[in-house]
Amino acid sequence: MKLDAHIPEGPIEKKWDTHRFKMKLVNPANKRKFTVIVVGTGLAGGAAAATLAELGYNVKAFCFQDSPRRAHSIAAQGGINAAKNYQNDGDSIYRLFYDTVKGGDYRAREANVYRLAQVSVNIIDQCVAQGVPFAREYGGVLANRSFGGAQVSRTFYARGQTGQQLLIGAYQALERQIGLGKVQMYARTEMLDVIVVDGVARGIVTRDLVTGKVEAHMGDAVALGTGGYGNVFFLSTNAKGSNATAVWRAHKHGALFGNPCYTQIHPTCIPVSGDYQSKLTLMSESLRNDGRVWVPKKAGDTRAPGAIPADERDYYLERRYPSFGNLVPRDVASRAAKAVCDEGRGVGPGGLGVYLDFADAIKRLGANTVAERYGNLFQMYERITGEDPYKVPMRIYPAVHYTMGGLWVDYNLMTTVPGLYAIGEANFSDHGANRLGASALMQGLADGYFVLPYTIGDYLATVKPGAVGLDHPEVKAALARVNDRTAKLLAIKGKRTVDSFHRELGKLMWDNCGMGRNKAGLEHNLKRIPELRAEFWQNVSIPGTGEEFNKELEKAGRVADFLELGELMCRDALHREESCGGHFREEYQTPDGEAARNDERFQYAAAWEWKGEGVTPVLHKEALNFEYVHPTQRSYK
């Protein structure tokens, strides 16, 4: 297989325009003859479904939640980047492009990133027109803030609920099309397989989560906007339902998986409190604008934080990174927290935590200003931990938050299966090895509103609508596969719950494929995960039947997929003998403990091909060329 990213010719600032001009168009009168299937209704999927319907295509949209408004994009707090330069502080499309490539530690495709920066400005306009209530200045214009270590103010926000407001904007656009009859919406419906006929994606198989009915849906193209796979770790900031089933089943039908080992660990989450913990809660990164991160200088110091005098505290981010201080990028901040906890200087129960202290900010700005900026976050913290951050420093610890890896896609967002697209977090494309803050919302909406609706037309112009019907043998085979698998899961009737397997997998992944990775740990996982998987298929216990609302059955299917994907993540992490972005191999670091990239050997995107159950997957490489932003060691000192 030869990987071709289909990057258009020409200078980077012209590529997207030239490409759009060269794309074939579907005759407006013919658009209603085509059906596009969109799976997932988050920012990417919801925006794509609405926009495709506006263009005149028939759309079938699917989500596993009870309403398209609940997709996990909703939980994003901080904001969305756009190169508007409204603050006149020197921002530009080129600067956003540059920052994103550098922030991704030179492991993203330049052409895609440039396009992302270009359309970022359209996104804001679109969302404002929909009525997204962005924060405003008194003059009525849009407000901005600086976020996630960016040195310009380019982040737009709606209180601490930017993801929610953007998603509701997309949801409203989607509901409008549903009301007009252009989108058929299937909520509480999970995609369980792709139907591939002669190598081309033609439809999907779904299960109605209320009745258990398994059905095939045919379409002329399929777009997966199903989000990331952070829940492999069991404990993450993802929603409980977030899963990798759609992308994993696509992978098994020939869609290569790009950079599975690139996961983002967010530095500011509330630490784990007990064994029953079901998920982790993120505290917005904006807290680091005013909070100071520290731990005691002495290991094992159990005094209350207030009893530790200033000269016995180690403000380790300010010490190690004097120019960025507490605002270093996420991967750097997370690793530094792990390092101090590994030295036994962590705080709180179990020693897995560091302080995020607002005492100085309260002194400098007054409690009122601090409340204005972070009031709702402080409240959320207090609700969860029972501690008052105005009085005692918050305790935070890193947690899995986002996955930069995903299905490999070309410039058109098409996977290696013709007719099958991946958008938003589900693809691997734009963030390289590390994503900058406020860039996930930008990418989801860019793909959904402004990229896919164009590129999919170029493909549809070349296919005959409705070419494969429900009676095709491949459709029957796909239905049989799904039904067999459900029957097989239900027949196991073992002793262990789904969650107990999931927790065990999560622990293996967190310990050996989390913030720090090394050869021995990864090899251990590559041995242990297949054993755990084998046990799962013999000993999992799923009550009930397949013909009813059965949450354990849903979870079991997802965990079965995580048990395969986790192994691939470890394999990818093991092969990548360098450290870059969110992927930190302990063997490959600079003398002062920073990530050491190896551009000579690893300046490529890894794309893995599924070869069957128990067979080692095959690695393909897409070489990355940096014509504009030249790789240097990222330095935040």
In the bound complex, what is the minimum distance in angstroms from residue 351's beta carbon to another protein? Answer: 17
Nearer to another protein, 3 or 121 (CB): 121
List of residues 6+ apart from 228 with CB closer than 8 A: 238, 242, 244, 402, 403, 406, 425, 426
| The two three-digit tokens of residue 110, written as one number | 């330049």
In the bound complex, what is the minimum distance in angstroms from residue 159's beta carbon to another protein? Answer: 6
Residue 153's nearest CA partner among 76, 44, 74, 78 is 78
**H or E, element range at 59:** strand 58-62
**H or E, element range at 80:** strand 80-81
In the bound complex, what is the minimum distance in angstroms from residue 373's beta carbon to another protein? Answer: 15
Nearer to another protein, 159 or 464 (CB): 159
In the bound complex, what is the minimum distance in angstroms from residue 449's beta carbon to another protein? Answer: 5
Residue 46's nearest CA partner among 208, 203, 165, 219 is 165
Site residues (CB under 8 A) for another protein, limited to 522-551: 541, 543-544, 548-549, 551
Interface residue with another protein among 35, 51, 263, 512 (CB under 8 A) is 51
Site residues (CB under 8 A) for another protein, limited to 349-378: none
At 233, is the secondary structure helix, strand, or coil? helix
In the bound complex, what is the minimum distance in angstroms from residue 154's beta carbon to another protein? Answer: 13
Nearer to another protein, 273 or 369 (CB): 273
Site residues (CB under 8 A) for another protein, limited to 306-345: none
CB atoms within 10 A of CB 537: 13
Nearer to another protein, 134 or 408 (CB): 134
DSSP 236-254: SSS-TT---HHHHHHHHTT
In the bound complex, what is the minimum distance in angstroms from residue 355's beta carbon to another protein? Answer: 19
Nearer to another protein, 389 or 516 (CB): 389
Interface residue with another protein among 274, 309, 473, 612 (CB under 8 A) is 274
Interface residue with another protein among 36, 37, 239, 559 (CB under 8 A) is 239
171 burial type by CB count under 10 A (0-12 exposed, 13-18 middle, 19+ buried)? buried
Residue 444's nearest CA partner among 457, 458, 431, 459 is 431
In the bound complex, what is the minimum distance in angstroms from residue 263's beta carbon to another protein? Answer: 19
Q: Determine the Cα–Cα distance for residues 350 and 275; give it in Å rounded to an integer.
A: 12
Q: Are 546 and 487 in contact (CB under 8 A)?
A: yes
Count interface residues toward another protein (CB under 8 A).
81
Residue 78's nearest CA partner among 145, 28, 172 is 145
* Dihedral of alpha carbons 101, 85, 14, 446, sign: positive
In the bound complex, what is the minimum distance in angstroms from residue 67's beta carbon to another protein? Answer: 5
- Tell me how far CA of residue 296 lies from CA of 357, 419, 607, in angstroms: 13, 55, 43
List of residues 6+ apart from 249 with CB closer than 8 A: 191, 192, 193, 194, 561
| DSSP secondary structure code for residue 256 in this structure | P
Buried-state track 84-113, b at ≥16 Cβ within 10 A, e below 16:
bbbeeeebebbbbbbbbbbbbbbbbbbbbb
Site residues (CB under 8 A) for another protein, limited to 119-178: 122, 124-131, 133-142, 158-159, 161, 164-165, 168, 171-173, 175-176, 178
In the bound complex, what is the minimum distance in angstroms from residue 138's beta carbon to another protein? Answer: 5
Pick the stretch among 234-242, 248-256, 331-339, 412-420 that binds another protein (CB under 8 A): 234-242
Site residues (CB under 8 A) for another protein, limited to 444-463: 449-450, 453
Interface residue with another protein among 23, 86, 339, 532 (CB under 8 A) is 86
Site residues (CB under 8 A) for another protein, limited to 191-210: 210
Nearer to another protein, 125 or 342 (CB): 125
Residues in contact with another protein, shown as a per-residue x/- string from 4 to 43 under the rule CB under 8 A: ----------------------------------------
Interface residue with another protein among 26, 47, 265, 490 (CB under 8 A) is 47
Q: Determine the Cα–Cα distance for residues 187 and 65; give it in Å rounded to an integer.
A: 6
**H or E, element range at 207:** strand 200-208
CB atoms within 10 A of CB 241: 18
244 binds another protein (CB under 8 A): no
In the bound complex, what is the minimum distance in angstroms from residue 212's beta carbon to another protein? Answer: 11
273 binds another protein (CB under 8 A): yes
Q: Determine the Cα–Cα distance for residues 530 and 313; give it in Å rounded to an integer.
A: 44
Nearer to another protein, 363 or 391 (CB): 391
CB atoms within 10 A of CB 67: 13
Interface residue with another protein among 19, 60, 69, 330 (CB under 8 A) is 69
In the bound complex, what is the minimum distance in angstroms from residue 194's beta carbon to another protein? Answer: 24
Nearer to another protein, 58 or 165 (CB): 165
Nearer to another protein, 551 or 637 (CB): 551
Site residues (CB under 8 A) for another protein, limited to 546-605: 548-549, 551-552
In the bound complex, what is the minimum distance in angstroms from residue 590's beta carbon to another protein? Answer: 37
Nearer to another protein, 545 or 625 (CB): 545
CB atoms within 10 A of CB 148: 23
Nearer to another protein, 537 or 549 (CB): 549
Interface residue with another protein among 187, 442, 475, 569 (CB under 8 A) is 187
276 binds another protein (CB under 8 A): yes
- Tell me how far CA of residue 63 lies from CA of 310, 402, 611, 620, in angstroms: 51, 20, 29, 31
Interface residue with another protein among 68, 254, 398, 521 (CB under 8 A) is 68
Nearer to another protein, 362 or 446 (CB): 446
